[in-house]
Structure 1
Amino acid sequence: MRHAIEVEMLRKEFKSYSSRSGLGGAFRDLFTRNYKIVPAVNDISFNVKQGEMVGYIGENGAGKSTTIKMLTGILTPTSGKVLVNGMNPHKEREKFAQTIGVVFGQRSQLWWDIAVQESFRLLKKVYKVSDEDYNSHMNHVIETLDIGPLLDKPVRKLSLGQRMRCELAAALIHNPPLLFLDEPTIGLDVLVKLKIRKFLKEINEKYNTTILLTTHDLSDIEALCERVVMLDEGKIIYDGSLQKLRSTWGDGKQVVFEFATPPNREHIKMLTQGLPVTWTQGERENIWVSHLVNEGDTMSQLIGRVVGKYEINDISIHEVSTEEIIRNIYEEGVVNG
């Protein structure tokens, strides 16, 4: 199986300028500026197979959008090798653009003052899509995304959710084998998100479309991607399956106790001494959360010890969420081995 994306020792540096203080400093800045070199993407390497759906995640400023811009040919790398669909995005721009679709959640590729269908017609001409191909492919896209009633409306009159569905359709007019999605569900309500996720799964299954998705909404990753690449300060700190991430770093459960009367913190810690558990207080003083690392028979021991000494109103058991796992990885600085 060939790779849709091949990245080797990819690096992008920017100059960060600083201003001197005072009038004299401002005058000197006219002639010479102080600056330092900041690597936004720091010698990363990864491959994406044709047909894969990969979540590319990280905190703000981690280098996600900079990577996407290099992979789509918007930015030129400082150093390293990039091959996307077998081409260099910066040297074969016109041919390369025919093979990718891009959706930036905070930027529009549709014309603001004209009807959506007119934007589609213009993009059809740009990508040299035949009437037959356009009709057979886009009829399905328009129906699945439920944007038929929106086609004769100008983009400026659409809600955010309506516009994002139209943006996604616009990126697929030429049915590209590779789709880049940068925060495509930002600010959208739950129903629109579900519709977009369902559609992305469909095109991946029907056309074997490769999808690289960056998002802060981890429910998007859980719904769509089996593999995640995690970035921190421009470096890849995890590249592997979502399932492995959960099993390696998400081992254990949370047991939430609602006490009849607020307990003494030191007493419940003493009570569960010797068990692989840590305690944190919940949203109220009578609610305490125990984070259990290894389950096994320790779950019954934990509950037995607490219930044996305290009057309990309620107990609930939760899996550790993907969001919490990833937050813990960032806090602990775990590096992919």
Structure 2
Amino acid sequence: MLAIDVHQLRKEFTVQQSRGGLKGAFQDLFKREYKHVAAVKDISFQIPKGEICGYIGENGAGKSTTIKMLTGILVPTSGEIKVNGFVPFKEREKFVSGIGVVFGQRSQLWWDIGVVESFQLLRKVYRVSEADYKKRLDELVERLQLSELLSRPVRKLSLGQRMRCELAASLIHNPAILFLDEPTIGLDIVVKTEIREFLKSLNQRYETTILLTTHDLQDIEALCSRVIMLDDGRIIYDGGLDELKARWGKGKEVVLQFADSVTLARLQELTQGLDVAWQVENELSAKVFIPHERANVSEVLARVVGVLQIEDIKILETNTDDIVREIYKSGSAEAKRDLAELQAEGAAAHV
């Protein structure tokens, strides 16, 4: 069953085009010029029930615009959307009872009243029964460690405390789908880890579908098995993290510390026939680069360990953050073509 079904979704905005100089400013007073800007350009994707999917892209790529259309805040220019079986902007009242939304830079809590009072107001908005509300609140308070925060006004909470309360607020009515737009922005590593663990357990226990938009790719690595990548309003990749790493990751780097001095020639001799590159840092330290699918770490180490005495080994792998940064930085036709191929493979795998 699909939680989210999107076909050829497009959103255009009409933007005033200002003319330069004093003369242009004067002309703008009497006759303004406008242009149409497409923020989202005919995208299609499906997310099955119970999946955690990362939705990533640079600033201005169209992530937040997509989330606003999926949650019914914006009306699409064209295309079709079904979320939980509803068209978000048409069946608003029925639709909102099945979704939860957290915008990292906006709050759904009332600023000057206690947190628990905000929760009670949201209970009435979503028409949650008193019994269900109490059961749900007790669970959220325990899982998110909110007991000491319930009586405090929202304005007196730290950012980390407020985000935990925002999460609880979005889950009071036990939604089937949770939309998270930058939920960990500005948080320290401890709070980020707590929120990630909570989201994992929420998904496992209730099969809550989660669409996560973030610039922090550690969130994606910790939570998502699938990622949709946007560039200039278009999807350039839709598939698994493993496939993304396999195609775009530069491989593994292994740093070796030796007990005795070693030369570059000796290391190359030991790994002759393997597609690897050695770099000697000093006479007791060397680094070997092992490309994906051309050699593996165990094969390289097997040849070296049996001959040379090794005191320490460190294995480094290109992380998702580095890969995505490199893709956007390159902006090449080849990069887009490779990603389009991966998108097709990923789409086929999800059918």
TM-score where L is the length of structure 1: 0.84
* 5+ long unaligned stretches in structure 1: 259-271
Question: Is the partner of 1:148 in helix, strand or coil?
Answer: coil
Question: Is the partner of 1:86 in helix, strand or coil?
Answer: coil
In structure 2, the residue matched to 1:102 is 101
Q: 1:51 is aligned with what amino acid?
A: G
The worse-fitting range, judged by mean Cα deviation, of 12-21 and 78-87 is 12-21
CA separation in 1, counterparts of 2:297 and 2:49? 44
Residues 1:122 and 2:121 are matched in the alignment: yes
Sequence identity, in percent? 61
* 5+ long unaligned stretches in structure 2: 258-270, 342-351
CA separation in 1, counterparts of 2:22 and 2:250? 58
1:121-175 CA-to-partner distances (Å, cap 9, x unmatched) read 1000111110110111121111100011000000000000000000000000110
The equivalent position to 1:336 in structure 2, one of 328, 340, 345, is: 340
In structure 2, the residue matched to 1:295 is 295
The worse-fitting range, judged by mean Cα deviation, of 224-233 and 154-163 is 224-233
In structure 2, the residue matched to 1:317 is 315
Aligned residue pairs: how many?
317
In structure 2, the residue matched to 1:203 is 202
CA gap of 1:289–1:41, structure 2 versus 1, over 3 A, is farther
In structure 1, the residue matched to 2:89 is 90
In structure 1, the residue matched to 2:236 is 237
Task: Note if contact 1:275-1:298 (Cα within 8 Å) is conserved in structure 2.
Answer: no
CA separation in 2, counterparts of 1:227 and 1:36? 35
1:77-118 CA-to-partner distances (Å, cap 9, x unmatched) read 111001111111111111111111000000000000000000
Q: Which stretches of structure 1, 4 residues or more, deviate above 3 A after TM superposition?
A: 255-258, 274-280, 287-292, 296-301, 313-317
Task: Note if contact 2:114-2:150 (Cα within 8 Å) is conserved in structure 1.
Answer: yes
CA gap of 1:289–1:237, structure 2 versus 1, over 3 A, is farther
1:49-88 CA-to-partner distances (Å, cap 9, x unmatched) read 1111111111111111110000001111111001111111
In structure 1, the residue matched to 2:348 is none
Question: Is the partner of 1:169 in helix, strand or coil?
Answer: helix
**TM superposition shift of 1:299:** 7.9
**TM superposition shift of 1:193:** 1.2
Residues 1:178 and 2:182 are matched in the alignment: no
The worse-fitting range, judged by mean Cα deviation, of 10-19 and 77-86 is 10-19
Question: Is the partner of 1:110 in helix, strand or coil?
Answer: coil
CA separation in 1, counterparts of 2:25 and 2:299? 65
CA separation in 2, counterparts of 1:85 and 1:204? 16
CA separation in 2, counterparts of 1:185 and 1:51? 21
CA separation in 1, counterparts of 2:288 and 2:174? 49
In structure 1, the residue matched to 2:74 is 75
CA separation in 1, counterparts of 2:287 and 2:219? 27
CA separation in 1, counterparts of 2:35 and 2:79? 21
CA separation in 1, counterparts of 2:299 and 2:322? 20
CA separation in 2, counterparts of 1:326 and 1:299? 29
Task: Note if contact 1:71-1:89 (Cα within 8 Å) is conserved in structure 2.
Answer: yes
The worse-fitting range, judged by mean Cα deviation, of 197-206 and 11-20 is 11-20
- Backbone CA RMSD of aligned residues: 3.1
**TM superposition shift of 1:36:** 2.7
In structure 2, the residue matched to 1:266 is none
CA separation in 2, counterparts of 1:191 and 1:203? 19
CA gap of 1:275–1:39, structure 2 versus 1, over 3 A, is farther
TM-score where L is the length of structure 2: 0.81
In structure 2, the residue matched to 1:263 is none
